[in-house]
Chain A
Amino acid sequence: MDGTARGHATVAAAALPVAAAIGVFGVVYGAVAHPVLGGELTVVSSIAMFSGAAQFTMVGLLASHATAGAVVVAVVPLALRHIPLGALVQHRLAPGRVRRAVVSSLFLTDETVGLALTRQAPAARTMAITGGLAYIAWVVGTAAGVAGASIGAAEEVAAALFPVLFIGLAAVTASTPRDAVRAAGAGAAAAALLIAAPAAGVLGALAVAIAVTCVGVRR
């Protein structure tokens, strides 16, 4: 196996647990969305969006008879999360090569960015491999959920795996003791905020992370 093939295999090995967890949630999404959107549109939504947060929000609101406007208003804050994620990997995606950046952006998720930041391999390649595996798992899982598949206790394991994964990504990207202190502070502050005000949601967590990061930065 040459160096490039070994690099691909290493990235794929790191991505497989993530893809497996995403596939489990795909099954759950397919089962939940099927009665709301119908089978075909449920699968189409996963093929087109590849965004668990946006899709679960959309289906959850539609199931509770929310208007289309309410769904759009709820999805916009989730989409804003892509701004800092994109900034983190932008300079690693061969600056100036817009087409490559656009293709990579289709796989822009918390998990793919985290793995891209922590791997030696080029970010575009890491995002393509991890994003591709996660995308396939998400779409296949959705189709299986629509078809009536059941995953039992695996859903709880997958749900528990996401906080663990983010903790691991925070640990790996904390390259200095100060980074580690900032990460611990952001995690504790975000948890406190979300316990006190659950409605703060993803925007609240994002604001806490940015506020903690800005402490001590000279203008």
Chain B
Amino acid sequence: MSNAALVAAVTVITVGSRIVATAVLPTPHGATAEVVRRLPAPLFAAMAALSLVGSDQRGTPALVAAAAAVAVAGRRSLLLVVIAGLAGYLLAEAVR
């Protein structure tokens, strides 16, 4: 398979899965709907763990940034969490 054909195949998988998930699958009901209602926070927390732990390129500054973000997560402000994370990162870089 040529690289161009492979790019086409991966495009079909990636774009197709988005369309199926959003426009084709039925709207969930009952217990499934309850799971979907509860899912966002655990899903994003698991994605945070994946992006933090699932790469061998993360160092101490990234861990400090994540810890700073967690420290203010209770305020439930996306902007505040991002600012705290960046501040944590810059602080860890400064003392490294």
Contacts and interface: CB of A to CB of B under 8 A. Distances in A.
Contacts of B86: 157, 161, 164
Contacts of B16: 79
B41 A108 contact: no
Interface in B8-42: 8-11, 13-23, 25, 27-28, 30-31, 34-36, 38-42
Nearest to B79: A14
Interface stretch (A1-9, A132-140, A141-149, A174-182): A174-182
A75 interface: yes
Contact of A159 (B42, B57, B78): B57
A190 B50 contact: yes
Contacts of A45: 7, 10-11
Contacts of B89: 157, 160, 164
Interface in A53-98: 54-55, 58, 62, 68, 71-72, 75-76, 78-80, 82-91, 93, 95, 98
For the complex, would chain B's binding face be called helix, strand, loop or mixed by DSSP majority?
helix
B17 A82 contact: yes
A218 B11 CA distance: 38
Nearest to B70: A167
A116 to B, nearest CB: 10
A180 B40 CA distance: 11
A171 B76 contact: yes
A49 B14 contact: yes
B51 A166 contact: yes
Interface size class of A (residues with CB under 8 A): 35 or more
For the complex, would chain A's binding face be called helix, strand, loop or mixed by DSSP majority?
helix
B41 A174 contact: yes
Interface residues of B, number: 69
Contacts of B50: 190, 194, 201-202, 205
B23 to A, nearest CB: 4
Interface string A26-69: 00000000001110010011001111001100100010000010
B43 A167 contact: no
Nearest to B39: A213
A173 B73 CA distance: 11
B22 A86 contact: yes
A12 interface: no
B15 A167 contact: no
A164 B11 contact: no
A151 interface: no
A19 B49 CA distance: 21
Contacts of A188: 49
A194 B53 contact: yes
Contacts of A166: 44-45, 47-48, 51
A170 B73 contact: yes
A136 to B, nearest CB: 18
A87 B3 contact: no
